[in-house]
Amino acid sequence: MATLIDGKAIAKDIRREIAKEAAAFTEKYGVKPCLKVILVGDDPASCIYVNNKQKACEKAGIDAETLRLGAETKTEELLGLIGKLNADKLVNGILVQLPLPAHIDEKKVLDAINPEKDVDGFHPMNAGKLLEGEALLEPCTPKGCIELLKRMNVEIAGKNAAVVGRSNLVGKPVALMLLRLNATVTVCHSKTKDLGDVLRRADIVVAAAGKPGLVTGDMLKDGAVLLDVGINRLEDGSITGDIDFESASKRASMITPVPGGVGPMTIAMLLKNTMLAAEAQNA
Ligand code: NAD
């Protein structure tokens, strides 16, 4: 049976470490590191995510404020607000909660964030730096995946890694990060002909397709390390991942549960990025 990768406990350790860094920063500069979260509209899931982010910041000694805008807010208004936050020296990080209402030009908004304050790591400048292997601010969920592997002492160099999904949010960045750490990486996607054929050669599998139970035990190599990024809500309201936990955990050496695996790491990495941004801006 596979060892469970307890993302909740690991994220808690990281948040404790960040609280120490935040306290040292506040002592040194006389102000707390500061994150501004912009929420447009009242999508219930987004409201929960934003509240969780704000609470986690406060607990770690990071000053966080959520700026709540009406669903009818126009792209230009949002750009105006981002311009002000970009110019405010006391604001270290800016996060725009996605998804934005359909009438807003999401790309224009994300591109307007000062790359030095882009704690989600979505700005093309930071994406380009990630490609070059030298980004300070990397997307939080992929960064959380790598941190889990490191803290579980999983050897990455020279291993075969398979990433299921090629989104800009998760699949592509996590593939780049694994490549930088010298894994041999294969990226699978919806047009991949035989997923099992690729996965059966993988020592590390990162599943980020948003398809419940897509990866089953028979597709896996014995002893593989499995990170399940998927968050899929079932009809009964429960949440499940992209990996069929029951069959996969019989083959794997390590596996993340859903919930309680990769999910908690995303917020921990947001706090980390806010600290990194604050320190870089004050260096
Ligand atoms: P997305 O829809 O943008 O991308 C999904 C990717 O999966 C695509 O590249 C697609 O080609 C691929 N795919 C779809 N069906 C496939 C199949 N049958 N075989 C192989 N590949 C297939 O999704 P995303 O934003 O990358 O998110 C993926 C999942 O991760 C979702 O469930 C999302 O909710 C979850 N997620 C979790 C966190 C977290 O904090 N844990 C953060 C972001 C996203």
What backbone phi and psi angles, to 5 degrees, belong to 50?
Answer: -65, -40
Question: Ligand 1 centroid to 25 CA: how many Å?
Answer: 36
Taking the CB of residue 11, how many other CB atoms lie within 10 A of it?
A: 26
The CATH number corresponding to 140-263 among 3.40.50.720, 3.40.30.10, 3.60.40.10, 3.30.1330.60 equals: 3.40.50.720
160 phi and psi angles, rounded to 5 deg: -85, 125
For residue 1, what pLDDT is reported? 86
In the annotation, is 53 catalytic?
yes
Q: Which residues contact 114 (CB under 8 A, 6 or more apart)?
A: 86, 94
Q: Where are the domains of the chain?
A: 31-114, 140-263
Q: What is the reported pLDDT for 178?
A: 98
* Each residue's pLDDT expressed in tens, for the chain with a length of 283 residues: 899 999 999 999 999 999 999 999 999 999 999 999 999 999 999 999 999 999 999 999 999 999 999 999 999 999 999 999 999 999 999 999 999 999 999 999 999 999 999 999 999 999 999 999 999 999 999 999 999 999 999 999 999 999 999 999 999 999 999 999 999 999 999 999 999 999 999 999 999 999 999 999 999 999 999 999 999 999 999 999 999 999 999 999 999 999 999 999 999 999 999 999 999 999 8
Sequence-separated (6 or more) residues with CB below 8 Å from residue 45: none
Domains 31-114 and 140-263 alike in fold: yes
Pairing state between β 232-233 and 204-207: unpaired
164 C-alpha to center of ligand 1: Å?
Answer: 8
The secondary structure element, H or E, covering residue 68 is strand 63-69
pLDDT at 162 (0 to 100): 99
**Given this model, what pLDDT does residue 202 score?**
99
Q: What are phi and psi of 125, to 5 degrees?
A: -65, -45
Ligand 1 contacts CB of residue 57 (under 6 A): no
Residue nearest atom 1 in ligand 1 by C-alpha distance? 167
Give the per-residue pLDDT at 24: 98
Looking at domain 31-114, its CATH class is: alpha beta
Q: Which of 53, 117, 172, 272 is catalytic?
A: 53
Write down the catalytic residue from 120, 203, 228, 244. 120
What amino acid occupies position 223?
Answer: G
pLDDT at 139: 98
* Residue owning tokens 């990025």: 273
Q: Residue 95: which of 169, 137, 37 has the closest Cα?
A: 37
Asked whether the beta carbons of 203 and 159 are under 8 A apart, the reply is yes
Residue 18 in tokens: 């960040």
| Nearest to 169, CA basis, from 98, 218, 254 | 98
Q: Which of 97, 106, 211, 234 to mutate to test the pocket of ligand 1 (most atoms within 8 A of CB)?
A: 211
222/200 Cα distance (integer angstroms): 8
100 with 82: CB under 8 angstroms?
A: no
Query: Is the Cβ atom of 266 under 6 angstroms away from ligand 1?
Result: yes
Task: Give the distance (Å) from ligand 1 centre to CA of residue 84.
Answer: 33
* Dist. CA 232 → ligand 1 center (Å): 10
From the list 159, 272, 177, 282, the residue with the least C-alpha distance to 221 is 159
